[in-house]
Amino acid sequence: MEKMLKTLICSGMKKFSARTAFMVKAEDNKSPYEKISFLQFEQDVFTLSAQLIEKGLRGKRVAVIGDNSYQWMLAYFATLFIGSVIVPLDRELLRPEILNLLERAKCEAVFYDKKYEEPVRASGLGHAFLMRKYYRNEGGTGAGLDIGKTPEPAQIQAAKAIVPDPDALVCIMFTSGTTGEAKGVMHTQRTLGENVLDIQEALGFQCTDCSVSILPMHHCFESRMGISTSLSQGMGIAIGDGLKYIYKNMAEAEATILLCVPLLLKSVHRRIWNNAEKTGTVESLKKRILELKGKRFELMKTGGNNDDAIFEMSRKLFAEERKLVGGHLRKIFTGAAAIDPALINGVQDIGIKVQQGYGMTEMSALLSSTRYYEDNYLKASSVGRPVVSATFKIDAPDEDGIGEILIKGPTAMLGYLDRPDLTAQVFQDGWYRTGDYGYLDDDGWAFITGRKMNMIVTRTGKNIFPEELEAELAKSKLIGELMVYGSEDKNGNILVSLQVKPVMEEVVQASGKAEPDYNDIFQAVAAEVKAFNATVPNYKRIRHLVIRKEEFIKTPTGKIRRKMNIV
């Protein structure tokens, strides 16, 4: 029972009752943060649970769709805690997709933001509950979520006392992968709880920590790591106002932890160096980085976890740089997409620990991670060691030890909703076939080389992982977002192709023109590609370049949907 998600969250509520659980804003991004204690969160969530029971929704399937908010989290946990099934939906879904998933999941109720009012009404569901991110300016009197008459204390206590079946379905998460129809991944109290324990061991959150919730809550990255694990360990969560305001929010909340995708990590790094160039402190910054590096390598010789010592030294050495990212940040955790190890160490060079992880919705969330108590500076290209409950195996490794990664552990899903055929395809003798290729080093650290489905196979039989090339190309200042893929020429030859959305301010500087035209942009990027081609074997060279004006179509966590972006 101690491994159930409800048990872990309720334990956090009790242990840290007087501490701040959430920081919310009453009106908009200009409002100050207001604090909500764990005690108040407990009262709000079980009041809502009791109201759900009163409406006959215990054991039923309940969807939630909307922007990140305190009320979103109340809907999520209030449903889970009474043994009902929560169905978090992607906030980027359009009307037909919303209606389709509500029907496929057999939902009987939905919590929704106002902007989804039309599809919710069209769904014909008997229970539809409006949520608000900002409550005071919309007539509300508090941050809580009220869907009926106030329950009696005995009803609230009865909701608290419910002990859900640890192995029964409690969550259906629809994948938002890069190909195919969304699949409903089914999880239990136990599979979700087991992964929270894994994350606790790997990340080392503290009750004095605080984060800003910026990743979409419906995704397993945020819901498992940014929310569930944080609450279980007494950590505060500030509801972000959106990516545009992330640094402002981090300063307001005095955030010490940032969970992000690689694009935001790149933004952190660029923000620091752009400021150094503007203020003429580049040489000073380089000198201070070398000073901290020297101390880091001296500390490495002593063994153990030296993060606290490095952090304390960096607070003085990089006080001005740290103000650019809130002033209190001590750790960043990144995942969900491939990342340049030089970027990880570029941020660690100013004393902010960067941990990288690897996970799958089908296995609850986190499957491997660099640990908070280990120095990963020399292995920044690794996604770390398997979490405590997981076992990794490399299937049919080649001469370099690279093969498909198979995983076994107690966080495995029950299966795909109504698709036993697809479930059977991804499980083999209890092992989950990830579709990712990689290897394990002699210390058991995992390295991901690429996705099987993305692999480019040339006519001569050469295998190319786009992710490998993308990581190198992304080092260019001119290249913002990019995608490497295979395309055919008129003779049927496979070309290694590249699409790029450039960083225009860098193109302006490279071209020397205030308003470069398409040809100027193409030539600037092509020069970067030419330099890259000189460093790789002939078969890996980029043969076709496309400059994008519009954004790539992406998943909620920033992964580019490859097939949908091929032109």
Instruction: Tell me the C-alpha distance between 526 and 240, whole Å.
Output: 38
Instruction: Tell me the C-alpha distance between 424 and 26, whole Å.
Output: 48
- Please tell me the predicted confidence (pLDDT) of residue 536: 81
Same-domain pairing of 434 and 330 = yes
Asked if residues 401 and 439 have their Cβ atoms less than 8 Å apart, the reply is yes
Same-domain pairing of 9 and 146 = yes
Same-domain pairing of 222 and 278 = no
Same-domain pairing of 408 and 464 = no
Per-residue pLDDT tens over the stretch 520-537: 889 989 998 999 888 887
| Other C-beta atoms lying within 10 Å of the C-beta of residue 365 | 29
- Both tokens of 252, joined, read 């307001």
DSSP state of 560: B
Asked if residues 481 and 560 have their Cβ atoms less than 8 Å apart, the reply is yes
Residue closest to 330 by CA, chosen among 305, 357, 351: 351
- Number of domains present in the structure of the chain: 3
Residue with tokens 């129809």: 181
Same-domain pairing of 436 and 478 = no
Per-residue pLDDT tens over the stretch 172-221: 999 864 344 789 999 999 999 999 999 999 998 999 999 999 999 998 88
Same-domain pairing of 445 and 463 = no
Same-domain pairing of 165 and 113 = yes
Burial class (CB in 10 A: 0-12, 13-18, 19+), 262: buried
- Both tokens of 249, joined, read 């929010």
Same-domain pairing of 21 and 69 = yes
pTM for this one? 0.82
Boundary-marking domain end, from 188, 222, 257: 257
Residue closest to 336 by CA, chosen among 498, 220, 227: 220
Residue closest to 93 by CA, chosen among 113, 65, 121, 117: 65
Instruction: Tell me the C-alpha distance between 539 and 104, whole Å.
Output: 45
Same-domain pairing of 215 and 118 = yes
Same-domain pairing of 98 and 182 = yes
Within its chain, how far is the Cα of 230 from the centroid? 14
Q: What angle do CA 357, 360, 362 make, to 5 degrees?
A: 155
Q: What is the CATH number of the domain that holds 39?
A: 3.40.50.12780
Asked if residues 181 and 369 have their Cβ atoms less than 8 Å apart, the reply is no
Boundary-marking domain end, from 229, 257, 285: 257
Q: Which residues of 149-187 are buried (b: 16+ CB within 10 A; e: fewer)?
A: eebeeebbebbbeeebebeebbbbbbbbebeeebbbbbb
Same-domain pairing of 149 and 196 = yes
Q: How confident is the model at residue 258 (pLDDT cuts 50, 70, 90)?
A: very high
Q: What is the mean pLDDT of residues 273-280?
A: 93
Boundary-marking domain end, from 213, 229, 257: 257
- Please tell me the predicted confidence (pLDDT) of residue 178: 38
φ, ψ for residue 430 (rounded to 5)? Answer: 85, -5
pLDDT over 70 for what percent of the chain? 94
Per-residue pLDDT tens over the stretch 419-472: 999 999 999 999 999 988 899 999 999 998 877 667 776 665 566 778 778 888
Helices (H) then strands (E): counts for the chain:
20, 26
Q: Which residue has the higher pLDDT, 312 or 136?
A: 312
- Please tell me the predicted confidence (pLDDT) of residue 255: 96
Q: What is the CATH number of the domain that holds 487?
A: 3.30.300.30
Q: What is the mean pLDDT of residues 166-172?
A: 96
| Other C-beta atoms lying within 10 Å of the C-beta of residue 539 | 15
> Domain of 510?
455-565
- Please tell me the predicted confidence (pLDDT) of residue 195: 96
Same-domain pairing of 228 and 82 = yes
- Please tell me the predicted confidence (pLDDT) of residue 177: 46
